[in-house]
Amino acid sequence: MSPLCWEEDVNLREYNTFNVDSIARYLVRIRSIHDLKDLLASPRFRDFRHLVIGGGSNILFAAENFDGVILKNEICGIEVVSENENNTVLRVGGGVEWMSLVTYCIDHDLGGLENLSLIPGTVGAAPIQNIGAYGAELSDVMLSVEVCNLETGETRTMSKDECALKYHDSIFKHALKYAFISSVTIRVSKAQFHCLNTQYSSVQDVLQQQGVVTPTIRSVSQAICLLRRRKLPDPKILGNAGSFFKNATCDTLLCKSIMKAHPEIPSFPGPDSFHIIPAAWLIENCGWKGKQIGEVGVSPSHALVLVNYGGARGREIVLLADSIIKDVQAKLGFQLIPEVNIIR
């Protein structure tokens, strides 16, 4: 096997979808478990802070330099572990692009990921966020992950329950922040036994517009791709990380109190008797949608999306986010929480 290549003074602009400049002291590409073990044994690795990145779609580099080691997850491969009449179990490398996995499943008549079409990033990053969209989440299909604790060097298999997957949350944002996910194992359904999820009216509308009478895995995926392209700018053209903030949540008592003062605020039932308040609605109703300050701004097509109009620095995007948070808190009483991982 080839020795690890330590790339020095690497501009991370092409490794983050916000397209901001930040110079990393080192970047190392991890293409196998062997590479990871070699890295962990290196004194140079232990001397610096480190960060794992996949597609860079949920990261904002706030500083112009990252004085540490970037681990670029490039472990590939999609393997059939087992299958029966109803389901297929796949083990997928953490460096596989998420949409490549979705496409693989659709091409093989396997259902379960079609509602998660066109979500940017890699498979290894998906459990960290418990990615979800249009009524589906990774937790619906995930069985386990192969994880290396970068602090201890321990490698083990973790079940879905151990990963503590919740709404846009997991153990990897808390107790296991310093983890490298080398593979994810999922169970997907064979098409003839799969129950499609078209509960969102926007999905139903697109299917109807396209003349789809009997939806399929592929037609649902195509509808959701169309919806996402309408809402979210292409990061290759306009730097962004998709939804910058989480939707707000509150318990029933607080929700009633806020709704009394602001009866126009929409809310939806969430997990554990909580209510979900769309963050996009809060931001838009505070006047931020479409607003531009210098080279940064809020997308005119979706209030949750902060954009880099070209040449913006990470800290300028952070300042914009902070201003939005303070304004929403002052006007509507909700504390917005960034969904994007801000690296300072």
- Residues 308 and 258 placed together within one structural domain of the fold: yes
Task: Let me know whether 82 and 69 are in one domain.
Answer: no
pLDDT band of 115, cuts 50, 70, 90: very high
Q: Specify whether 39 is located in the same domain as 89.
A: no
On whether residue 165 sits in a domain, the answer given is yes
Residue 1 maps to a domain: no
Domain count, the chain: 3
| Domain CATH for 335 | 3.90.78.10
CA 84 from centroid of its chain's CA atoms: 30
Domain assignment of residue 216, yes or no: yes
Kindly state whether residue 2 falls inside one of the protein's structural domains. no
Answer yes or no: do 132 and 210 share one domain.
Answer: yes
* Range(s) of the domain holding residue 270: 239-343
Across the range 119-131, mean pLDDT stands at 96
| Per-residue H/E/C for 17-68 | CCCCCCEEEEEEEECCHHHHHHHHCCHHHHCCEEEEECCCCCEEECCCEEEE
Q: How many CB atoms lie within 10 A of CB 211?
A: 7
Domain final position from 185, 207, 231: 231
**117 and 248 belong to one structural domain:** no
pLDDT at 273 over 90: no
- Structural element, H or E, at residue 209: helix 201-209
Q: With cut-offs at 50, 70 and 90, classify the pLDDT of residue 105.
A: very high
- Please say which residue of 73, 91, 116 terminates a domain: 73
Q: Find the CATH number of the domain harbouring 138.
A: 3.30.465.10
The proportion of the chain whose per-residue pLDDT surpasses 70, expressed as a percent, equals 99
Residue 13 sits in a domain whose CATH number is 3.30.43.10
- Sequence-distant (6+) residues with CB within 8 A of 32 are 1, 75
> 128 and 42 in one domain?
no
Q: Name the pLDDT band for 318 (thresholds 50, 70, 90).
A: very high
Q: Are residues 217 and 86 in the same domain?
A: yes
- d(C-alpha 235, C-alpha 26), whole Å: 24
Q: Do residues 153 and 267 both lie within one domain? A: no
In a domain, 14, yes or no: yes
Query: In terms of domains, do 66 and 105 share one?
Result: no
26 shares a domain with 122 = no
Q: What is the dihedral of CA 296, 302, 304, 306, to 10 degrees?
A: -10
Q: Mean pLDDT for the chain?
A: 94
Domain-ending residue, one of 179, 196, 231: 231
Average pLDDT of the residues in 239-246: 94
Indicate whether 65 and 87 sit together in one domain.
no
Write down the pTM of the prediction.
Answer: 0.91
321-344 pLDDT per residue, tens: 999 999 999 998 889 999 999 999
Q: Specify the pLDDT at position 1.
A: 61
The answer on 103 and 211 residing in a single domain is: yes
